[in-house]
Amino acid sequence: MFNIKTLNKIDQEGLELFSEDYQIVEDGDIDAIVLRSFKMQDYPLDEKLHAVARAGAGTNNVPVDKCAEKGIVVFNTPGANANGVKELVVAGLLMSSRNIVGAIEWAKTLVDEGEEIPKLVEAGKSNFAGPEIKGKTLGIIGLGAIGVLTANAASGLGMKVIGYDPFLSVKHALKLSRSVSTVKTIEEIYSKSDYISVHVPLVDATKGMINDDSIALMENGVKILNFSRAELIDDDAMAKALESGKVSNYVTDFPNASSIKMKNVIAIPHLGASTPESETNCAIMAVNQVMEYLENGNIINSVNYPDCDMGVCPTASRIAVNHKNIPNMVSQITSILADHNINIADMINKSRGDWAYTMLDIENESTKEIITALEQIDGVVKVRIIV
Ligand SMILES: NC(=O)C1=CN([C@@H]2O[C@H](COP(=O)(O)OP(=O)(O)OC[C@H]3O[C@@H](n4cnc5c(N)ncnc54)[C@H](O)[C@@H]3O)[C@@H](O)[C@H]2O)C=CC1
Ligand SMILES: O=C(O)C(=O)COP(=O)(O)O
C-alpha cells in the first residue's frame, strides 16, 4: 500500500485515479506528496518520501534541490493549466485597456439613484474610456506553455505580438502562430511594446527582471501584466513607474503588501489556474506521474531528475538508483550485481544537471544485501526495489 499526502485541495477527479493500492493519509510514512501552491520549503523530507508532485507549473514553492539531494523526485504538470492562465491574461489585457474595473466600481456607486441611473451613466462614461487592443504591440517574455497560447490568442484579437525566449523549445516553437514574431533581445520587447506580459519561471536569473533599468527602456504609458510570480518585479521600481505614469497599469495575479497599494494596479488573487478544467488536468497529470514512478520507477516531467522510461518490468526484479551525476557510478552499480552473480537484462542511466538515475531490470530477486551494498556507494542517495 502506498501512502499519499496532499498539502492543498487536489481535484477529486485526479485523486480518484489512485488505485486500491493507494491511500490518502495525514501522517505516517508518506511515499508521495501532491500539492499546489503550499510553501514546502520548511516541510520535513522524510527518508521514506520518494516523490513530490506539483499539480501546476511553478515549483518555486518546493525545495527542489534539497529534494534531489535526498533522492526525492519532484514533478510538475507542464501545460496542464496553461489555457486557464491564457484566458485570464486576455481578460487582463482588456481590463488594463478599458478601465473595466474602475467603471464597474463607479457603476455600483449609482445604486441609490433610481430612475436617474441611465442619465448618470451616459454623463459619466467618458471618464472610463480606453483604447482598443487591436493594432497595439504586445511583448511576451517567455514563450513556454502559457506564453505561446497567450501570443496566439492576442494575435487572433488583432494585436501585433512579439516574443522573447532564449531557451524556446522546439515543441513550443511549433505551436507558435506564424503571425507572432520572435526577437533576439529582451531590450526589443521593452522598447517596442505597448503591453508587456511576463511568462517565465521564478529562478535566480529572472528575479526582479522588471526593475528600474528595464522600465527605463520601455515606452511611456506601457501596461505590464504579471501572471507568473510577484518576485519577478522589483516593487519599488514598479511603484515609482506607476506614480510617474511611465507604466500606466500593472496587472498582477500575485498581489503583495507593496503592490496591493500601488496606483493603477489591478490585483487578482492568484486565479490564473483556478478553473475546474485546469485543476482537473493538473491533478490527473500529477497523479498519473506519481503512480508511474512509484509502481514502475519511470520518471515523467520531473524538474530535478532526468525523465526515464523502461515501461513495465518484464523480469524478476527492477532496482532504481538515484545518485549524483559523477564518474564511475554505473560501473560501481553493475559491479555489485556482478559480484552477486546477477544478470542484468536491461538498464537505463540518464543524468540531468548534478543528478542521475539508473534503473536495472535483473533476472533474480533483489536481496537486502544487494540493496545495502548499492546504498553504500559514495554518491548514491536512494535505492528502491520497484518489483
Ligand atoms: N497565475 C497562475 O495561476 C499560474 C502561474 N504560472 C507561472 O507561469 C510560469 C510559466 O508557466 P508555463 O508557461 O506553464 O511554463 P513553461 O516552462 O512552459 O514556460 C516558461 C518559459 O520561460 C522561458 N524562460 C526561462 N527563462 C527565461 C528568461 N530569462 N527570459 C525569457 N524566457 C525565459 C523558458 O524557456 C520557457 O519556454 C510558471 O513558472 C509559473 O510561475 C503558471 C501556471 C499558473
Ligand atoms: O501552476 C502554477 O504555477 C500556479 O501558479 C498555479 O497555482 P495554484 O495551483 O492555482 O495554486
pLDDT digits (tens, 9 = 90+) for 241-295: 999 999 999 999 999 999 999 999 999 999 999 999 999 999 999 999 999 999 9
Q: Which of 76, 77, 176, 228, when mutated, tests ligand 1's pocket best, judged by the most ligand atoms within 8 Å of its CB?
A: 228
- Core vs surface per residue 350-383: b (16+ CB within 10 A) or e: bbbeebbbbbbbbeeebeeebbebbeebeebebb
Indicate whether residue 56 lines ligand 1 (CB < 6 A). yes
d(Cα 104, Cα 240) in Å, to the nearest integer?
26
Nearest CA to 98 among 260, 234, 252, 266? 266
Same topology for domains 1-81+275-305 and 82-267, yes or no?
Answer: yes
For residue 107, the CA-to-ligand 1 centroid distance in Å is 36
Which residues of the chain form beta strands (DSSP E)? 2-6, 22-24, 32-35, 51-54, 73-75, 137-141, 160-164, 181-182, 195-198, 222-226, 247-252, 265-267, 317-324, 344-352, 355-362, 380-385
Predicted confidence at residue 188, as pLDDT, reads 98
Indicate whether residue 145 lines ligand 1 (CB < 6 A). yes
- DSSP states of 143-170 as a string? -SHHHHHHHHHHHHTT-EEEEE-TT--H
Predicted confidence at residue 312, as pLDDT, reads 98
Identify the CATH class of 82-267.
Answer: alpha beta
Indicate whether residue 167 lines ligand 1 (CB < 6 A). yes
d(Cα 282, Cα 382) in Å, to the nearest integer?
27
Ligand 2, residues at Cβ distance < 6 Å: 36-37, 56-58, 81, 273-274
d(Cα 134, Cα 194) in Å, to the nearest integer?
11
d(Cα 125, Cα 87) in Å, to the nearest integer?
26
Predicted confidence at residue 147, as pLDDT, reads 99
For residue 146, the CA-to-ligand 2 centroid distance in Å is 12
Which protein residue's CA is at the shortest distance from atom 26 of ligand 1? 200
Q: Which ligand is nearest to the CA of 183?
A: 1
Compute mean pLDDT per 10 residues along the chain, 387 residues long, and list them. Answer: 98 98 97 98 96 98 98 98 99 98 98 98 98 98 99 98 98 98 98 99 98 98 98 98 98 98 98 98 99 98 98 98 98 97 98 98 95 98 97
For residue 146, the CA-to-ligand 1 centroid distance in Å is 7
Predicted confidence at residue 236, as pLDDT, reads 98
Q: Give me the architecture of the 1-81+275-305 domain, per CATH.
A: 3-Layer(aba) Sandwich (3.40)
Predicted confidence at residue 301, as pLDDT, reads 98
Beta carbons within 8 Å of 227's beta carbon, 6+ residues apart = 85, 88, 89, 92, 146, 197, 198, 199, 251, 252, 253, 272
Domain boundaries of the chain, sorted by first residue: 1-81+275-305, 82-267, 308-387
Nearest CA to 246 among 260, 267, 262, 261? 262
Is residue 51 within 8 A of residue 72, CB to CB? The reply is yes
For residue 143, the CA-to-ligand 1 centroid distance in Å is 8
Which protein residue's CA is at the shortest distance from atom 5 of ligand 2? 58
Q: Which of 10, 36, 86, 226, when mutated, tests ligand 2's pocket best, judged by the most ligand atoms within 8 Å of its CB?
A: 36
Nearest CA to 75 among 331, 341, 360, 284? 284
Instruction: Choose which CATH entry (2.60.120.10, 3.60.20.10, 3.30.70.260, 2.30.42.10) describes domain 308-387.
Output: 3.30.70.260
Residue 311's identity, in one-letter code, is: G
> What is the interface pTM, i.e. ipTM, of the complex?
0.99
Which protein residue's CA is at the shortest distance from atom 16 of ligand 1? 144
Owner of C-alpha cell 430612475: 115
Indicate whether residue 282 lines ligand 1 (CB < 6 A). no
Nearest CA to 272 among 105, 150, 164? 150
Beta carbons within 8 Å of 315's beta carbon, 6+ residues apart = 345, 346, 361, 362, 363
Predicted confidence at residue 210, as pLDDT, reads 99
Residue 363's identity, in one-letter code, is: E
CA distances from 11 to 1, 90, 179, 271, 331 (A): 22, 25, 36, 15, 44
